[in-house]
Amino acid sequence: MTQFEVICSVEKISERYLIPVLETILDFFPFNVISFHSDNGSEYINQNVAKLLKKLFIEFTKSRPIQ
């Protein structure tokens, strides 16, 4: 496993701003991204992010609350 970090900021937390930044971030990685994990924040878990990752053949997982 390799870890590589890219930090960015967006003007507002919405998919309008998040999707273009996510596409740009994925281009910065020096290797193929095979998995994308996010917390349970709704700004990251939406249909457009899932659709983008699926198009790129990237597995999308999210945190689940401990029960």
What is the per-residue DSSP string for the chain?
----------SSSSHHHHHHHHHHHHHH-SS---EEEE-S-TTTSSHHHHHHHHHTT-EEEE-----
Does 6 reside within a domain? no
Q: What is the pLDDT of residues 23-43, one digit of tens each?
A: 888 888 888 888 887 766 665
What is the pTM for the complete model shown? 0.62
pLDDT band at 5 (very low <50, low <70, confident <90, very high): confident
Give the per-residue pLDDT at 50.
82
Domain that holds residue 54: 33-67
- Interval 47-60 mean pLDDT: 84
Does 59 reside within a domain? yes
Does 60 reside within a domain? yes
Does 49 reside within a domain? yes
Number of domains in the chain: 1
More confident residue, 33 or 65: 33
Q: Which helix (H) or strand (E) holds 60?
A: strand 59-62
Average pLDDT, the chain: 78
Give the per-residue pLDDT at 40.
63
